[in-house]
Every structure is written in structure tokens, then in C-alpha cells.
Chain A
């Protein structure tokens, strides 16, 4: 018996030795599993009670970030759609509260799939993928926690994060953009984790922002893991287009922190120079005037342009992204195309420029064997309607064939039915686009509705937003809203005043979108919003966009009240805190075009 046992072990061990695979990656250097609490021995007041207004000292921010922060009115969090906003990951790690970390392993192979990190504040649940999966494409949604992949390097867990939402570098209005990426390092020394984050943000940082945070291990479950939040009315009778903000140079508390703490204003207002040792000497002779000069847009300087990643690959291909249920995004040919598939036939929202129409049709055929039945146009724009002719020709509308329409029109049901607000048809007719691409089913009322593919599909007319014929399309069961050019993530809203657009209509349309969205958790997820151009969003991106348009509207309006001309408004750099995200100096829609549209539509308001 002993011989048998020995043979068994010998065989087993020899087998293990012979068949064991060489390691594919360095051995796990640390185990983060357990309960952890952040030590509040650094930046305690800022992380606990909250930072003071205009305290940006040591943050390597650029001018855009500083002015964004100074424009920020803390009352903005009373707006319904901001009340439950979570923190973005690099800031959430700094929050007070407890954390819990655990490993997720494949039940069959026991390979490490992911490391989870849950933080009590805002119930932030971060997943660090350890299985080598790639990051999502640029058009994928952004979240508070972003998308993280990790690997062990030396004695550290090194993590790279993309797809973060816009959030706070510091919750006194100092922004971190949705273009930020983070490299972070976890090391563990006994019952102590040191977490180092390096935030790179081309939009709001002049240099990477480095912070280190300490966690100590809790011996048992602190048990408190939830962060309940629900939004509600905070201020009654506030106008829906009112976004609390301060005009440039009119932040009333700008010197409060500086004076209370004897911090020269030039230090308090931050910038990369404030984090280096040399700045200690400069503080000694600093005057308040030097600081106050930084509270307004610099009189001169290069026009800033967007530093955001273009989410469209421009590779001549159509890329498909499943949104929810039977609804998909087709991206790659100008404006975003949204597709609903089902037994009744395909429902397409917008048709792109037309250049890749054949590939769009091919992509649709890969997703459904049913014909394209409906094409809805959110506006008359060429990059939303350019594919109408080909997509229409590739489809048919079985609901019309054989109906009384067939008695009136020989071609009834031949080709897809194109649905749009009447002004879309008017604009396309006036522009003499090919008639085969004109809407064949138009509406004038506020809402066009139909039940299609087991979903409640509605088109809502948004008068005088970017044009006079805009609609948003809502797939209620799938909970997807297609915003058209009313909302996009790549540029300032393309308010075409000559085609009936207006800044007030644009703000109203954005609010109309927000009136139809529901977040899933802590201000994110839930209703999917497909922008006219850009990546897949939820209500958070829409509300930030709405805030931007309203704030810029307020600035231009104030200058108009002061008698400013268009040229003076442009010279005032009213968009400077958003230009690194949305600005353009060339192309079909420049920053100056946008400012002019705002100015013109305020000077000559459209009568609704």
C-alpha cells in the first residue's frame, strides 16, 4: 500500500513538473483582498469636509481648468441631474470611507480574471481586468470608474484606465475631462497599501497629476457599504434653462481661501509651476493683483482647439456596437446611425453621409434578414440624410404594400418609408437633394409614435434647436434615445441659425432629452443616449453639455446687455474653458461659428 502511495505521489509530482507551463506573466506580487480604509493624514480637510472655493494649489491645471473652476457655482449640484453624480475613479479613491477588494477567478481554471475594488462613497465599484482583454473602442460608453486593465510589474499592481466620465479633479469645481486616462500603482507593505495615481488629461492638465493615497487594513468587515442617493426638487420655480454659474471675473469668493489661510492667490489658483519647489520662493513676493489676473481669460493667446480623441476611426468601415436589446449603433459614416431590428423589419435612425451606405446596408443585413422598413431622420443635415436614397432602395415597407396606399401610389411600400418632421422635407426639397431620399412620411405635431418590433418608438419634434426640423427618437423599451445633432461629443452644437436653429431652442431640446432619461446608479447608466456624433453616452454627458451651452449663453447674453458687438464677444473668449474639449479653428464648425450662432440667435430670438 505504501508503495502504491509513493508511486501515486511520485507520478503526480513528476507530472506536475513535466506539464507545468512556464508563467505567462510575472507572479502576482501583491494581494489586495480584504477590507481597507483610507488614512486621512493628507489633504484631510479637502477629502473630508470638502475643499474651499478657488483652492487649486499644487494642481498642474491649465487656464481652461482654472476658469472652468472659477465659473463653477456649487449650487449647480442642486440641479436634479447632478444631485447623485458619483466621483470619477481617481478622485473617488481619495474619498472618505471604507473599501473592499476581492479577486474574481475563473471557476474552471482558477486563473485571475479581475480584481474588484468597492468603495463605500458613491458605491464605486471598480473592476480591474487581469485577463489581458483589450480596452473598448473609442465609441464605447464612459463611466465613473472607467475601464481598467492591470498587470503585475515588480512588486506593484499597475493599472491603466480609460473611458472615464467627466468629473472632478477636486470637488470645488476643478474639472477632470472625459479624455483623462490614469496609470496607477498599488503596492502593499504589510497591512498598508500605497496607491499612486497618475492622471493625464489633455483637456485640463498641463502636466500629469500625481497623487498618493494610503490605506490601512481593517481586521473585519466595516459593514457599511451603501451610499443611498435619489434626486428630487431642491429649488422650486427655477427656470429649466438656469444653470448656476459665475461669469468670468465675477466669482465672489475667489480670494476667500487665499485670505483665510494666508495663501497668495497665485498659489491658490494652481498651475504646474505651483507643484515644484521653486514656487516656494515666488510666493514670498506675490501680489494679489497677479492672482486676480488669472481669474479672467488671458487677453491674448492662441485659440485652443479640441484635444479630445476622435471616437470615429475613419477607416472606411462601419463599426457595430450593440446598445441594448435589439438596438445597435452603426458608426463610421459621418453622423451616427442607430438600428433597431426585429420581426417587423429594420428601423434605422439617420443614414450617414451616404459614402459608406453600401457597407451600412451590409452591416444591417448581418444583423437581420428582414428588410429596412423605416428610416427616421433627426434633421435634414447631409451627414444624417446622405444615405437615404440607398438605404431606402435597399428596403421596403410591408405595412403599406397591399394597403389602400397601393391604390393611390404605384410605388407604395417600394423602398423603406422615410419618416421626419415636415421641415426636414422642406429643407431637403429646397436644397434640391435627390427626391428619392426625401421623407415620405412627415409629421407636424410634437410627437410621432409607433409600436415597432415590440418597442414603443417615438419621435419628438424639437423646434429651433440646431435647425427648425430636429427630432429625437426614443426606443422606450430598449431605453435608448437618439439625439441627432442636438447633442454630440465632438464639437460645440452645430446651431444653424439660417436653418432655424437657436441657442435657446438647443438648451430646451437638451432639457427635453434629460426629461426622458433615467440613470441606473449614482447618476450614470440607465437610458442610453446616442449623440449625433461621438461616443455612446448616458444622461451625464448630456447634462454637462447642456450646462456648457447654458453657461456660454449666459456669458454672451451678459455681454450683449453691456452693448458688446459680435467681434467684442468673440474677443472676450467666452468659450475658453471648453475650447480644449470642443474648440476648432478650422473645418465646417469653428468656435467662432458657434459663438456667432449664439450671439445671433440671442440678438434675433426665434418666436416659438
Chain B
């Protein structure tokens, strides 16, 4: 009887439980080694949405579709690019919560086995995503970011039968950024505060027969200036090389 029960447990372990451990049953040695997607390379933004808010600097007070609260609207209405420039704050629209929406190119590399580096030519900014410890400097435009691989979850608990429960493949790069220096969601002074928390998912999609896309889905929560989360998704097209890479300085408007 004991033997039979033991077989049952063994089969249960083999059939479902073991598969929940991940492909091959062993965890990859490093985040880079276990990367479910390759985000490295040069990517160019495709400005097909919110065009006039991104390709141009919209007029002051035009914050349509951003769920600002009263404090946020007040701050946006007080936008003064000359003052920003004079105070050395011309990079306010180039902080982590705004930079991905600006026209430009990204260069994504692995800085080391545990750290992704994302550079932008717009404003010549660098974002660091570390998988092991929060990276960046509090109060900086790009804030402090932590990275993880967001993988589809395997079924939880008891699963029945072999072969039907291979763990899903693929995944996204999840980046959570906090402690940003207050900046702008749009160049016309639509604000986010130091309390804002930016959660981003980086996904790569390979279009059959052609191009690869990078889609960055972001959720910004800001108790100071937003009445509800602000969701955007921003897309980029893969480039074969650095063509068009054109680092520029921040511009206040």
C-alpha cells in the first residue's frame, strides 16, 4: 500500500509539479541568461498616436486625456518654459515618466548580466534597470528602477496529467521606477510628482515576415497630480543599426 501511494505521489510530482519549476527544471544563472526576449538594439519611435502632443509642444493648458486632479491642472496651467530653462530644468519632459513618449530612438544594451541600460537620443538620457538591486539616484530625472522578468504564470496547485502543463514561454521586462525628480508627462508642463510610481512592461513582437516592435505599456500612479492611473502604450520599430541616432540636448519647449 505504501508503495502504491508512493508511485502516486511520484507521478503527481512528475506530471505537474515538476513542470512548474521552469524550463529544464533549473533556474537560469543570470537575468541576461534567462531573458525570455531580446530587447537589445536600436529602436525608433513611431509617432502614430497623440501626435500633436508628442511631435509638437502643445499649448499651455491642453492636457486632454491625462487624468489630472485639481492640483495637477493647477500645476499644468502654471507651466513656464522660460522659467524651467532659466532654472536648469529644461529636462523636465525627459524624465522616466515622459521620455518614452518623445520622438526619438532608444539604444538598449546589457550593461552587465544583471542590468539593462536604455539610452535615449532625445535629451541624451540613460535609464538603468537592475534585476538585483534598485538602480539610479533618488531625485534624478530617471529616478530609481528595479527590473524583473514578468513571465506568464504556470497553473497553480494540482494539475492533472503529463504533457498538458508545460509552463508558458515568453515574458516581458517589468520595470518599476520611483523617486523621480518631478517632471512633465508632456512638454507643455503636464506634471508628475516625486511621489509618482511608474510601472512599465516592455514587450517585443515580431511581425511575421518583417519587422520587430517594442511596445512599452506604462501605468503611472501619482497621488499628488493624478486622479486615477495614467495608462499609455508606446511603440518602437527595430532598426538594424544606429542609423538616425542623434543625441540632442533637452529642450524646455
> A-side interface residues toward B, CB under 8 Å?
2-3, 6-7, 9-10, 13-14, 16-18, 20-23, 26-30, 39-45, 57-60, 152-156, 158, 160, 183, 185, 187, 189, 192, 194, 196, 198, 208-214, 216, 261-263, 267, 274-280, 283
Check if A16 sits within 8 Å of B237, measured CB to CB. no
Check if B232 sits within 8 Å of A196, measured CB to CB. no
In the complex with contacts A2-B1, A154-B171, A156-B205, A283-B215 CB distance below 8 A: no
* Smallest CB gap from A261: residue in B: B52
Taken together as a complex, chains A and B put the C-alpha atoms of A26 and B151 apart, in Å, by 14
The one of B15, B37, B230, B246 in contact with A13, judged by C-beta atoms closer than 8 angstroms, is: B15
Interface of B is mostly: loop
- B87 in the interface (beta carbon within 8 A): no
Q: Which of B58-66, B77-85, B91-99 contacts A (4 or more CB under 8 A)?
A: B58-66
Contacts of A16 in B (CB 8 A): 11, 15, 160-162
- Counting chain A CB atoms within 10 Å of each CB, the highest count among B12, B55, B151, B160 belongs to B55
Taken together as a complex, chains A and B put the C-alpha atoms of A6 and B2 apart, in Å, by 9
In the complex with contacts A277-B45, A277-B105, A23-B168 CB distance below 8 A: no
Check if B11 sits within 8 Å of A210, measured CB to CB. no
> What are 18 A-B interface contacts by the 8 Å CB criterion?
A10-B5, A13-B8, A16-B161, A18-B162, A20-B162, A21-B163, A27-B167, A29-B152, A29-B169, A194-B217, A209-B48, A211-B49, A211-B235, A212-B233, A214-B231, A274-B55, A276-B45, A277-B246
- B244 in the interface (beta carbon within 8 A): yes
Given A27-B165, A277-B104, 4 more pairs with CB closer than 8 A:
A3-B4, A10-B8, A17-B162, A43-B65
Taken together as a complex, chains A and B put the C-alpha atoms of A196 and B235 apart, in Å, by 9
The one of A6, A214, A275 in contact with B48, judged by C-beta atoms closer than 8 angstroms, is: A275
Contacts of A28 in B (CB 8 A): 168
Contacts of B138 in A (CB 8 A): none
> B-side interface residues toward A, CB under 8 Å?
1, 4-5, 7-8, 11-12, 14-15, 36-37, 44-52, 55-56, 58-59, 64-67, 103-105, 122, 150-152, 160-172, 174, 201, 203, 205, 207-208, 210-211, 213, 215, 217, 219, 230-235, 237, 244, 246
In the complex with contacts A210-B237, A212-B215, A160-B164 CB distance below 8 A: no
* Smallest CB gap from B165: residue in A: A27
Check if A26 sits within 8 Å of B233, measured CB to CB. no
The one of B55, B152, B230 in contact with A283, judged by C-beta atoms closer than 8 angstroms, is: B55
Taken together as a complex, chains A and B put the C-alpha atoms of A274 and B54 apart, in Å, by 12
Taken together as a complex, chains A and B put the C-alpha atoms of A43 and B64 apart, in Å, by 9
The one of B36, B50, B103 in contact with A277, judged by C-beta atoms closer than 8 angstroms, is: B103
- Counting chain A CB atoms within 10 Å of each CB, the highest count among B151, B172, B174 belongs to B172
Contacts of A153 in B (CB 8 A): 170
Taken together as a complex, chains A and B put the C-alpha atoms of A30 and B152 apart, in Å, by 7
The one of B8, B64, B170, B230 in contact with A29, judged by C-beta atoms closer than 8 angstroms, is: B170
Taken together as a complex, chains A and B put the C-alpha atoms of A213 and B103 apart, in Å, by 19
Check if A42 sits within 8 Å of B65, measured CB to CB. yes
Check if A57 sits within 8 Å of B169, measured CB to CB. no
Check if A187 sits within 8 Å of B48, measured CB to CB. no
Taken together as a complex, chains A and B put the C-alpha atoms of A213 and B150 apart, in Å, by 20
Taken together as a complex, chains A and B put the C-alpha atoms of A58 and B103 apart, in Å, by 12
Contacts of B152 in A (CB 8 A): 29-30, 155
Check if B217 sits within 8 Å of A189, measured CB to CB. yes
Check if A276 sits within 8 Å of B215, measured CB to CB. no
Check if A57 sits within 8 Å of B55, measured CB to CB. yes
The one of B161, B165, B201 in contact with A189, judged by C-beta atoms closer than 8 angstroms, is: B201
Check if A42 sits within 8 Å of B50, measured CB to CB. yes
Taken together as a complex, chains A and B put the C-alpha atoms of A3 and B66 apart, in Å, by 65
Contacts of B166 in A (CB 8 A): 23, 26-27
Check if B44 sits within 8 Å of A277, measured CB to CB. yes
Measured between C-beta atoms, what is the minimum distance from A86 to chain B in Å? 22
* Smallest CB gap from B220: residue in A: A41
Check if A14 sits within 8 Å of B11, measured CB to CB. yes
Measured between C-beta atoms, what is the minimum distance from B149 to chain A in Å? 10
Check if B65 sits within 8 Å of A276, measured CB to CB. no
* Smallest CB gap from B206: residue in A: A153
Taken together as a complex, chains A and B put the C-alpha atoms of A90 and B253 apart, in Å, by 33
Contacts of B244 in A (CB 8 A): 276-278
In the complex with contacts A20-B162, A210-B235, A277-B122, A41-B65 CB distance below 8 A: yes
Taken together as a complex, chains A and B put the C-alpha atoms of A201 and B126 apart, in Å, by 37
Measured between C-beta atoms, what is the minimum distance from A89 to chain B in Å? 17
Taken together as a complex, chains A and B put the C-alpha atoms of A42 and B166 apart, in Å, by 37
The one of A17, A29, A187, A280 in contact with B201, judged by C-beta atoms closer than 8 angstroms, is: A187
Check if A45 sits within 8 Å of B55, measured CB to CB. no
